[in-house]
Amino acid sequence: MRPFRFDVARSVEDAVHRPAPGLAYLAGGTTLVDLMKLEVANPAAVLDINRLPLRGIRSDGPGLRIGALERMSAVAGHPAVTSGYPLLAEALRHSASPQVRNMASIGGNLLQRTRCGYFRDVRTGCNKRVPGSGCPAIEGENRTHAVLGTSDTCVATHPSDLAVALVALDATVLVHGAGGRRALPIADLYLLPGSTPDQETALRPGELITEVTVPALPAGTRSTYLKIRDRQSYEFALCSAAVALRMRGRVVREVRVAAGGVGTRPWRLPAVEDALTGRAPRPDVVAAAAAHAVDGARPLSQNRFKVLLLQRTITRAVLSLVDGRG
Partner 1 sequence: MADSPLGRPVNRVDGRRKVTGTAAYAADQHPDRMVHGHLLVSDVGHGTIRSMDTAAARSAPGVLAVFTPFEPLALAAGAGQNWVPLQDTLVRYHGQVIGIVVADTFEQARDAAALVRTDYDETPPAASFAAGIPTATVPTGGWEPPVVDILADGVTSIDEALAASPVVVSGNYSQPSKHHNAMEPHATVADWRDGGLVVHGGTQAPAGHARSIAAALRLDPAQVRVLSPYVGGGFGNKATTWADAVVTAAAARAVGRPVKTVLTRPQTFTVTGHRSAVAQAIALGADHDGTLIALKHDAWSSLSGSGSVFESAPGTTSRMLYRTANLHVGQKVVTLDVPPSTFMRAPGEESGSFALECAMDELATALRMDPVALRLKNYATVLPGRNVPWSSKHLDECYRVGASRFGWARRRATPSAVAEGDWWVGMGMATAVYPANRFPTSVRVRLLADGTAAVSTASADLGTGMWTVLAQLGADRLGIAMDRVRPELGDSALPANFGAFGSASTAGVAPALRDAAAAAVRSLTEIAVSDERSVLHGADPAGVEYRAGALHAGGRSVTFGALLTATGHPAVEATASGGPGGPPAEYAFHSFGAHFCEVRVNRWTAELRLSRITTVVDAGTIVNPKTARNQIEGGMLFGVGQALFEGAQVEPNGRIANANLADYLIPVNADVPPMDVHFLDHPDTVFNPAGVRGVGEIGTVGVAAAIANAVFNATGRRVRDLPITVEKLL
Ligand X SMILES: Cc1cc2nc3c(=O)[nH]c(=O)nc-3n(C[C@H](O)[C@H](O)[C@H](O)COP(=O)(O)OP(=O)(O)OC[C@H]3O[C@@H](n4cnc5c(N)ncnc54)[C@H](O)[C@@H]3O)c2cc1C
Q: Is 117 in the site for partner 1 (CB under 8 A)?
A: yes
Q: Is 240 in the site for partner 1 (CB under 8 A)?
A: no
Candidate list 66, 209, 238, 243; residue touching ligand X; CB under 6 A: 209
Q: Is 124 in the site for partner 1 (CB under 8 A)?
A: yes
Q: Which stretch binds ligand X (CB under 6 A): 30-38, 56-64, 241-249, 310-318?
A: 30-38
Distance in angstroms (rounded) separating the CA atoms of residues 23 and 131: 19
User: From its phi and psi, is residue 62 left (phi > 0), alpha (psi between -120 and 50) or beta?
Assistant: alpha
Phi, psi values for residue 225, rounded to 5°: -125, 115
Determine how β-strand 172-177 pairs with β-strand 208-215.
antiparallel
Find which of ligand X, partner 1, none residue 21 binds, CB within 5 to 8 Å per kind: none
- Of the two residues 104 and 317, which places its CB atom closer to ligand X in the complex? 104
- Of the two residues 32 and 242, which places its CB atom closer to ligand X in the complex? 32
Nearest Cα to Cα of residue 217 among 87, 67, 317, 74: 87
Find which of partner 1, ligand X, none residue 105 binds, CB within 5 to 8 Å per kind: ligand X
Distance in angstroms (rounded) separating the CA atoms of residues 264 and 114: 9
Q: How far apart are the first and last CA of the chain?
A: 45
Q: Is 157 in the site for ligand X (CB under 6 A)?
A: no
Candidate list 32, 258, 259, 314; residue touching ligand X; CB under 6 A: 32
Distance in angstroms (rounded) separating the CA atoms of residues 192 and 130: 17
Q: Is 213 in the site for ligand X (CB under 6 A)?
A: no
Q: Which stretch binds partner 1 (CB under 8 A): 125-133, 163-171, 194-202, 224-232?
A: 224-232
CB of 91 to ligand X, least distance (A): 8
- Of the two residues 26 and 321, which places its CB atom closer to ligand X in the complex? 26
Distance in angstroms (rounded) separating the CA atoms of residues 298 and 279: 29
CB neighbours (10 Å) of residue 4? 15
Candidate list 148, 189, 208, 212; residue touching ligand X; CB under 6 A: 208
Q: Which stretch binds ligand X (CB under 6 A): 19-27, 56-64, 216-224, 264-272?
A: 19-27
Residue pair 65/211 in contact by the 8 Å Cβ criterion: yes
Q: Is 238 in the site for ligand X (CB under 6 A)?
A: no
Q: How far is CA 221 from the centre of its chain?
A: 22
- Of the two residues 94 and 316, which places its CB atom closer to ligand X in the complex? 94
Phi, psi values for residue 2, rounded to 5°: -100, 155
Within positions 53 to 82, which residues make up the interface with ligand X, using CB under 6 A? Answer: 68
Q: HSE-up of 25 (CA within 13 Å, CB side)?
A: 30
Phi, psi values for residue 320, rounded to 5°: -65, -30
Q: Is 95 in the site for ligand X (CB under 6 A)?
A: yes
Task: Please identify the residue of the shown chain whose CB is closest to the bound ligand X.
Answer: 108
Candidate list 13, 39, 188, 295; residue touching partner 1; CB under 8 A: 39
Instruction: Give the SS3 label for residue 233.
Output: coil
Answer positive or negative: Cα dihedral of 10, 16, 18, 24. Answer: positive
Phi, psi values for residue 221, rounded to 5°: -80, 135
Beta pairing partners, 177: 180
Q: Is 324 in the site for partner 1 (CB under 8 A)?
A: no
Interface residue list for partner 1 (CB under 8 A): 1-3, 39, 115, 117, 123-124, 140-141, 226, 228, 230-235, 238-239, 304-305, 308-309, 312-313, 315-316, 319, 325
Interface residue list for ligand X (CB under 6 A): 24-32, 34, 68, 95-96, 100, 103-105, 107-109, 111-112, 159-162, 208-209, 236
